[in-house]
A and B are shown apart, each in its own frame.
Chain A
Amino acid sequence: MLVGEAVANIEELEELARKCRVHIVNMVHKAQAGHPGGSLSEIDLLVGLYKTTLRTRPHEPDWSDRDRFILSKGHASPGMYAILAEMGFITVEDLDSYRVLGGICQGHVDMKWCPGVDFSAGSLGMGLSFGMGSAIAGRLDESERQVYVMLGDGEIQEGSVWEAAMAATHHELGNLNVILDRNRIQNDDFCEAQMRMFDIPAKWKAFGWNVKEIDGHNMNEVVQGMQFLSNSNDGPSILIAHTVKGHGVSFMADNPAFHGAAPNDDQYAQAMKELGEVVA
């Protein structure tokens, strides 16, 4: 890749992430419910993944040999719906159906409702196991397809995550990849207050995983991180992305209150201004 091209790409990715952030705040404001914080922390990672790495066909979402993306922290659905809309799996108008009766954008991402969603999420600690099954299926199919699972950092307090982490290395699943959104905040408070997790990279290394850490809001590092995942195929790999919950909107950033709360109209106007969007 030429250096100039790479720079141009990064700028495009950053602009796409900005647009997705606008979608996220719009969705949560319109629904007056939902989870903006974790959507804003994960969105740079989702943009990097979908635009540089994930092999999909937006107009053939059920293509059987697609790479799988599993949003295990399924409450951070606005982020996923935003990138699905920008990729063309769904329309931008579909985003208005977030949390609306009959809408394809269910509160938590659901494979039965929304094109491009491969896993019905909602309960934490489930996606990695599902991803492991998807990875074994890929191996049985003798396919090169990869499986990417996004976990939240609070989520890894669920014991079942570690059942899956252990099993994935036992089965040498090189096609299984985790992106950990290390935003340091969970529902009630900072992770540090709720359940200290100490040395997270060391824990995954001890379970036999390939581990890389990045700044999850530096698009250059995000792109390199995705390359690390897709190129590390000797065993399961995890990209630990250090992020800021609510990143991009000043009053949401690093604020536990916006894990699962919608902005009011004044806050919405300010958020749009900060995201460079003119509200009519």
Chain B
Amino acid sequence: MTKMAATRDGYGEALLELAANEKVVVLEADLGKSTKSLHFRKAHPERTVSCGIGEQNMMLVGAGLAASGYIPFASTFAIFTERAFEQMRNGIARPNLPVHVCGSHGGTHTGTDGSSAQSIEDLAIYRTLPNVIVMHPSDIISTKLLTMQLADAGSPSYTRTARNKTPVLYEGRENDIQIGKGIVLLDGEDVAIIACGVMVSESLKAAKVLAEEGVNATVVDMHTLKPLDGTLVDRLANKCGAIVTAEDHNVIGGLGGAVAEHLTANKFAPLERVGVQDRFGESGQAHEMLDVMKISSRYIADAAMRAIARKA
């Protein structure tokens, strides 16, 4: 049976390992139990700053620490990072201070809390900021390793993690994980499915369905949306000639947007974007939400067939 784990736990594990670096500090906004920074807090209370329920303040406390040589990791729910967008823009991205923001519980997969908690625009807004690395890893192992790599990145970042468990994909493949490098999980020549986060495992399921119909799909985990691995996108456009993006995020501005922007300026291939169709969510179980939002594996498989049909 597939091993399951939550990406937010990967974030928590990474912070604990990063604690060996005395410059690493952790900032919380009353959600450490949820984002999983609590383990760091327990082990290193002197390097953990409680900002209370005050995200705007938290972001800039991070900026002040970063400007004095510290490496702050600040987390809250993805949706609550958004109220501090201008702090992120003017106080962190503009002076290029390496503050690392983690937004947990992103996407409709967050489930029963409903639409107010389901951030479907976080990846898009942070992608518009110069200097900011934007990531949405798919499993606990890649989340841990990518978070650890951020400590040396020297620029700010936004990482979305998920509340609910997803399949563990990278046991034994730890060396493949690197910021800015998409990972080819399955190699096929008919269509390329480029996914992030929860949708990576859904895309692997879709590829299985497609294979039964004689369609060979490539599946890529594009955990880093910015900087986008354009070399890999070019290779997929050349090889497969049809591309699908899959994300638990609005189809506007996220992974689909990033890939579309790249394709229009480079080697072009027909693109079908699977994602939230510019609407808000509602309360439901995680797996139910993927169907309600029409982003589960069968919708990815359908999109793959449409993309193939559009090949010149």
A and B co-occur in one complex: yes
**A residues lining the B interface (CB < 8 Å):** 64, 110-112, 118-120, 122-123, 125-126, 129-138, 140-141, 159-160, 163-164, 166-167, 170-171
Docked-complex contact B54 and A126, CB < 8 angstroms: no
Q: Which of A122, A130, A141 has the most CB of B within 10 A?
A: A130
Docked-complex contact B61 and A64, CB < 8 angstroms: no
Q: Give complex CA distance A133, B99 in Å.
A: 11
A130-B67, A130-B91, A136-B49 known; A164-B57 Cβ under 8 A? yes
**Chain A to chain B contacts (Cβ below 8 Å), 22 pairs:** A111-B95, A120-B90, A126-B90, A129-B58, A129-B61, A130-B64, A133-B63, A133-B68, A133-B72, A134-B65, A136-B65, A137-B64, A137-B68, A140-B46, A140-B70, A160-B54, A160-B57, A163-B52, A164-B54, A164-B57, A166-B52, A167-B57
CB distance from B154 to the nearest CB of A (A): 14
Docked-complex contact A136 and B52, CB < 8 angstroms: no
What total count of A-B pairs have CB within 8 Å?
101
CB distance from A171 to the nearest CB of B (A): 7
Q: What is the interface size of chain B, counting residues whose CB is below 8 A from a CB of the partner? A: 31
Docked-complex contact B64 and A140, CB < 8 angstroms: no
Docked-complex contact B87 and A137, CB < 8 angstroms: no
The main secondary structure of chain B at its interface with chain A is helix
Docked-complex contact B67 and A111, CB < 8 angstroms: yes
Chain A residues near B70 (CB-CB < 8 A): 137, 140
A129-B60, A132-B61, A140-B25 known; A122-B67 Cβ under 8 A? no
New A-B contacts (16) at CB < 8 Å, excluding given A140-B46, A166-B54: A110-B95, A120-B94, A129-B58, A130-B61, A130-B63, A130-B67, A130-B91, A133-B62, A133-B63, A133-B64, A134-B65, A136-B64, A137-B64, A137-B69, A160-B54, A166-B52
CB distance from B82 to the nearest CB of A (A): 14
Q: Give complex CA distance A133, B65 in Å.
A: 5
Asked if B50 lies at the interface with its beta carbon under 8 angstroms from chain A, I say yes
Q: Give complex CA distance A129, B88 in Å.
A: 12
Docked-complex contact B64 and A131, CB < 8 angstroms: yes
CB distance from B43 to the nearest CB of A (A): 16
